[in-house]
Amino acid sequence: MNQELTLTVNGEEHTLAVESGEMLLDVLRGRLHLTGTKKGCGEGECGACTIILNGKAVNSCMIPALKAQGGRVETVEGLADGEKLHPLQQAFVEEGAIQCGFCTPGILMSAKALLDETPAPDSEQIREAISGNVCRCTGYVKVEQAIQKAVKMLGEENS
Amino acid sequence: MKYVMANSGADAVDILRRANGDGRVIAGGTDLVLDIAGGKYAPSVLVDISAAGDMREIVPREQCIAIGGSVTHSQAARSEVILREAPALAEACAAVGSLQIRNVATLAGNVVNAQPAADAAVALSALGATCVVAGEEGDRILPMERMYEGFGKSAVDSARELVREIRVPRRKKGEASAFIRLEMRKALALPMLNVAAAARVEDGVVVWARISMAPVGVGPVRAVAAEEGLVGFSLEEEVILRAAEKALEQANPRSNPLRGTRAYRMQVLPVLVARALRAVRTQLEKEEEETR
């Protein structure tokens, strides 16, 4: 059954008809063509599909699209400001925190959700924030370093 | 299938009533979405309670802390009042899944999904929590022990009713709680064993103790023999070790190919029970020092 869904994605409002059983991930990728967010496992065990919904990092593969009714969604496509990379993206590139890149959009959003709430997280907080994002390539060390670098970069931007 | 957002607990019950048994409550959905995809349920209406205005808060009342039916694991793990008065619950909630899951998954859902190893449920059991189940006939109030009807079977019929509130008794001076989890990873892992303990000590001796263990039966299992054996004794090492061994009397774990054999779990369970009791003792010692 089709129902109408209105939500804001990366600052832009969308109204569209969705199936009641459709997941938010499928709406983002399939209907809004925002394919940055990845489908890894489809069952909330890998975090590749992580987006920010109403300020919280969630697994979009398990969020029924209609649950996000009237909500505010942020995806990886919303990080950069035109051509200018977000400090998180810049830091990931500079620190070598990206190998195959499949987990990257999800980890970036988990990191962003953390920094939005806790601008100066410690190591434990960073690890907690990304422990729902599985990365098969990097071993996480560079990822953590990149997030710490982004913290510094954002701190300098805001001072 | 129709997807409906309920704006209150009563609204949800009403929508379920009109769906006449074909509807189902969805809170965070982290279990239900997968169950539906796997064909376990096929509701014609999903009633989403995550935005229900009257169930989203953690409210300290005189006799209890009232945790709304839509409160998430994240909320509970970070709640000041829960961290202070029900540390076992804060720790249990923080242990579930991943942050992405904790941000939407509810405590009520953890209880109602009725899986044996549920973490929040184990802590709630040791804390002596009660659940307010809202249905067509009004509320019924059930202690944690009565929330399970079998393996994976809740006393709550999610096609007709929902847990609108979970009540945790206020912590009094001389009381403490702790939660210990044996797990293969620090995240995205079900527990191999989880244990929660709570106790009240007066004049140096235990007045009451509750020890809940999982997955060693249907839902959280209370180690009643161990609990009774603690009353009247102080929480010294030998007393703790004796209680830890007694906890085995109520434990009946199955063998799991991923998370441990029955034999292994029976060996490790007393170690965890002892750790939980020691953590309780440490909290009480700390409380005594602070109030001197």
Which positions ≥6 away from B99 have C-beta within 8 Å? A57, A110, A128, A129, A131, A132, B74
Q: Do A20 and B2 touch (CB under 8 A)?
A: yes
Coil vs helix vs strand at B39:
coil
Q: Do A62 and B50 touch (CB under 8 A)?
A: no
Pick from B1, B97, B99: CB nearest A57: B99
Residue identified by tokens 């982004």 is A150
Residue type, B234: S
Res A159: pLDDT:
73
Q: For an interface test with B, which of A131, A133, A134, A140 has the most B Cβ atoms less than 10 Å from its Cβ?
A: A131
CB contact at 8 A, B68 and B164: yes
Ordered mean pLDDT values, 10 residues apiece, chain B (292 residues):
96 98 98 97 97 97 98 98 98 97 98 96 98 97 97 97 98 98 93 97 97 96 98 98 97 92 96 98 95 82
Q: Is B44 on the interface with A (CB under 8 A)?
A: no
Token pair for B268:
């490790």
A145-157 pLDDT, tens per residue?
A: 999 999 999 998 8
Q: Do B100 and A47 touch (CB under 8 A)?
A: yes
Res B291: pLDDT:
85
A25-84 pLDDT, tens per residue?
A: 999 999 999 999 999 999 999 999 999 999 999 999 999 999 999 999 999 999 999 999
Structure confidence at residue A1 as a pLDDT band (50, 70, 90): confident
CB contact at 8 A, B119 and B191: yes
Residue A116 backbone phi and psi in degrees, to 5: -65, -35
Q: How many CA atoms lie within 13 A of B39 on its CB side?
A: 0
Residue type, A75: T
CB contact at 8 A, A135 and A143: yes
Q: Do B98 and A58 touch (CB under 8 A)?
A: no
A78-115 pLDDT, tens per residue?
A: 999 999 999 999 999 999 999 999 999 999 999 999 99
Q: Report the predicted TM-score, pTM, of the whole model to 2 decimal places.
A: 0.96
Determine the distance in angstroms separating the CA of B102 from the nearest CA of chain A, rounded to an integer. 9
CB contact at 8 A, A63 and B29: yes
How would you classify the pairing of strands A2-9 and A72-74? parallel
Q: Is B74 on the interface with A (CB under 8 A)?
A: yes
Q: Is B2 on the interface with A (CB under 8 A)?
A: yes
Res B205: pLDDT:
97
CB pairs A-B closer than 8 Å: 78
Residues of A in contact with B103 (CB under 8 A): 56-58
CB contact at 8 A, A47 and A58: no
Pick from B46, B50, B186: CB nearest A131: B186
Q: Do B104 and A58 touch (CB under 8 A)?
A: yes
Q: Is B184 on the interface with A (CB under 8 A)?
A: no
